[in-house]
Each structure stands twice: as C-alpha cells, then as structure tokens.
Amino acid sequence: MKNAVKVRAKLTDLELRSFVVVLCKKNEESENYEFASILNDISSNFETINEIVKPIKRVRTIKTEKPENE
C-alpha cells in the first residue's frame, strides 16, 4: 500500500497512518467490517510493517589510488 501511495503522492509516515485510520472509520460507517478490520490491523501494526518496507540506505566510499612517488 505504501509503495502504491508513494508513486502518486509523497506522504510522511504520520500522514499515511492517519490516512489508514480515516479509511478504517469510513469503512466501518459503510458497514464494510471485513476491510475495516484489515485496516485496523494495519494501523495497529504500522511500525512493524513500516520497518520491513523501509529501504536500507548504503553509503559507499570511493576508493582512490595514492601515487607511490609522493
């Protein structure tokens, strides 16, 4: 879900979490309890899911050869 939203809009983690909560409440109002339950599970486990999805940032150093004559 986060990857699909990232393509269309740049949302912070807090905004995405709020969006999931709003979707959950709207689905409860329209009596779509199955989907609301799934969204509720996503919002309650958001931090765990988010840690798995975050890419690991790597910093690479450029190796340069030192001249031996110096």
Domain, as residue range, for 28: 2-47
Q: Has residue 12 been placed in a domain?
A: yes
Q: Has residue 19 been placed in a domain?
A: yes
- How many independent structural domains does the chain possess? 1
- In this prediction, residue 9 carries a pLDDT of 66
User: Would you write out the chain's pLDDT as a tens digit for each of its 70 residues?
Assistant: 556 555 566 777 788 888 888 888 888 888 888 888 888 888 888 777 766 666 677 787 877 887 776 5
Q: Has residue 21 been placed in a domain?
A: yes
Q: Give whole-number Cα distances, 34 to 14, 30, 66, in Å.
A: 24, 11, 64
Q: Chain centroid to CA 52: how far? A: 9
pTM comes to 0.51
Q: Has residue 33 been placed in a domain?
A: yes
- In this prediction, residue 10 carries a pLDDT of 74
